[in-house]
Amino acid sequence: MAKPAVANIIGSGIAGIAAAIRLAQKGYAVTVFEANAYPGGKLSEFQLGAYRFDAGPSLFTLPHLVEELFLLCGENPEEHFPYLKKDESCRYFWEDGTRLTAHAEPEAFASEAERVLGEPAAHTLEHIALAKKQYEATSGFFLERSLHDWRTYARPEVLKTLAAVPSLGLTSTMDRIHRKQFQTDKMVQLFNRYATFNGSSPYQAPGTLCMIPHLEFGVGTFLPKRGMVDITNSLVALAQRQGVVFRFGERVTAIRYASNRALGLTLESGEETQADVVVSNMDVTPTYRRLLPALKAPEKTLRQERSSSAFIFYWGVRKRFPELNLHNILFSEDYPGEFKALFDTKVLFPDPTVYINITSKDIPGEAPQDGENWFVMVNAPADYGQDWNALRAQVRASVLAKVERVLGVDVTPFIEVEDYLDPPRIQSRTSSDRGALYGSSSNSTMAAFLRHPNRGPLKNLYVCGGSAHPGGGIPLCLLSGKIVGEAVPQA
């Protein structure tokens, strides 16, 4: 009996796990090599005393991309991956006392925005309709297929995209489109926020990214009932049921190749593997710099502007805040200044926008009954050698001051346990170049086309994950794994 074809995958981020499942379904004997002792990359968890925290991504949209992996393997996703749908997407707070609940249902959101902000409901509904039109016109072309395969451009979806070009905002920015659409500054700021979903600036990112709100208002905001980490855990378990082997604590030091073909991997232990297919779920920059140092690298791609990173505090707070829900935003008073600091001067802004995620609002046991698990994040520049120890003290003070001004409570005495994540730690733990959360930014019209393709520089080497096409974030990483899975030939 012939031995099965072998696939080696570097990294167990969500894209690598998805690719592993798809390659196993194609008949490959799949082994995933992960340097950490746990799977998931950014999508992992940890415990601090009585408080549980998801370490990274906190927003879950497009759950069908997880479900289809179970369906591909002939399993019922409801039996393995339970989740709930939220009836509101976010709560927004401004320092002048304005508070707005963004209901998941578009009409209810538009009505609330008119009542609270004075923004005509018709403006909001028109913009949500534009987001849907942009998404439906481009997802089949930009997101679900390789932009570097000629067959993508021969598909019928291209005609839909071309017909929608006038509405895509390619020659404008998100901010300009929002200022034309809305009459209130607060509504402009609220929709400008969606640029951060891929680590970009609304003052530079193309208007095409106005499609992002469709994920919340057109599809919905969801939460796995066992926490965000269950996306990782349930898919790892699914992969293992398909025969995928995970080797944790196994750092890859090189991709071996000859005659334009990958031969296998070299591990830090000195072990050499043999593989018919190699997939790198590692950031493309260290993939070239560390694993393929003698191979000519695509310098134009690697030199692209990095996306934003993050400064995250994990606080176990022994107090309940009924005015907060799962997702909460405390806006900066100077949004343009915040993004100028992020991308131009690369410093932390003294009045940052603060995002607070509290999964204990929906999941019992995440925190003590009289407490909450606060995941507190501010946008940060990528790591260019800043003094992060000094900046940590600065941003902590800024966040605490912002919370006190907006909520009227000094939360400091209620913080029982604490940890943090900064750009250097993100790079160290996930190999993300400079700690950027999404690889390169989308601060130009051509950014989508300049991302690294899903095919690597060797004939049987493939690339997936947040630094490759179609981009970062859970949905796009799942799509990245899908594109690779479909590109690899049947075993």
The reported pLDDT for the residue numbered 2 is: 66
| pLDDT tens profile 6-15 | 999 999 999 9
Q: What pLDDT, in 10s, does the model give residues 278-337? A: 999 999 999 999 999 999 999 999 999 999 999 999 999 999 999 999 999 999 999 999
Encoding tokens for residue 469?
């096409």
Among 55, 65, 59, which residue's Cα sits nearest to residue 17?
Answer: 65
Would strands 327-330 and 45-48 be described as parallel, antiparallel, or unpaired?
unpaired
pLDDT tens track for 377-416: 999 999 999 999 999 999 999 999 999 999 999 999 999 9
Q: Could you state, in order of their start, the residue ranges of all structural domains in the chain? A: 6-49+59-82+228-304+442-487, 107-218, 308-437
CATH for 6-49+59-82+228-304+442-487 is 3.50.50.60
The pLDDT of residue 137: 83
pLDDT at 157: 60
pLDDT for res 462: 97
Give the mean model confidence (pLDDT) for residues 137-149: 66
Residue 64's SS3 state is helix
Answer yes or no: are the C-beta atoms of 276 and 460 closer than 8 Å.
yes
pLDDT of residue 171: 74
Q: How far apart are CA 113 and CA 93, in angstroms?
A: 13
Predicted pLDDT at 353 = 98
Among 33-42, 159-168, 200-209, name the one with the lowest average pLDDT: 159-168
More reliable by pLDDT, 358 or 167: 358
**pLDDT exceeds 90 at position 474:** yes
Do 363 and 82 touch, CB atoms closer than 8 A?
Answer: no
Q: Which helix (H) or strand (E) holds 248?
A: strand 245-248
Residue 151 or residue 196, greater confidence: 196
* Residue 170 pLDDT greater than 80, yes or no: no
Alpha-helical regions (H) of 118-198: 121-138, 157-163, 174-181, 185-192
Farthest CA pair distance, the chain: 73
**CA distances for 374 relative to 3, 94, 248, 392, angstroms:** 50, 19, 29, 17
Interval 101-125: pLDDT, tens: 999 999 999 999 999 999 999 999 9
The pLDDT, as a whole number, for residue 445 is: 75
Q: Which two tokens stand for residue 243?
A: 């025969």
Instruction: Find the helix or strand (DSSP H, E) in which 111 lies.
Output: helix 106-117
Q: How many CB atoms lie within 10 A of CB 47?
A: 11
C-alpha 25: how far from its chain's center? 26
What is the architecture, at CATH level 2, of domain 107-218?
A: Orthogonal Bundle (1.10)
Report the pLDDT value the prediction gives residue 166, as an integer from 0 to 100. Answer: 46
Q: What is the mean pLDDT of the chain?
A: 93
**What was the pLDDT predicted at 139?**
76
What is the rounded CA–CA span in Å between residue 156 and residue 144? 13
Within 13 A of 274's CA, how many CA atoms are on the CB side?
Answer: 3
Domains 6-49+59-82+228-304+442-487 and 107-218 share a fold: no
Q: What is the model's pLDDT at position 175?
A: 97
pLDDT bin (cut points 50, 70, 90) of residue 32 is very high
CB-based contact 121:110 (threshold 8 Å): yes
The alpha helices in 384-489, defined as continuous H runs, are 388-407, 423-430, 447-450, 474-487
Alpha-carbon distance of 95 to 177, in angstroms, equals: 25
pLDDT at 329: 98
Q: pLDDT (tens digit, 9 = 90+) per residue, 426-451?
A: 999 999 999 999 999 989 877 766 78
CA distance 335 to 350: 11
- Secondary structure (DSSP) of 266-307: EETTS-B---SEEEE-S-HHHIIIIISTTSPP-HHHHTSPB-
Average pLDDT over residues 36-56: 97
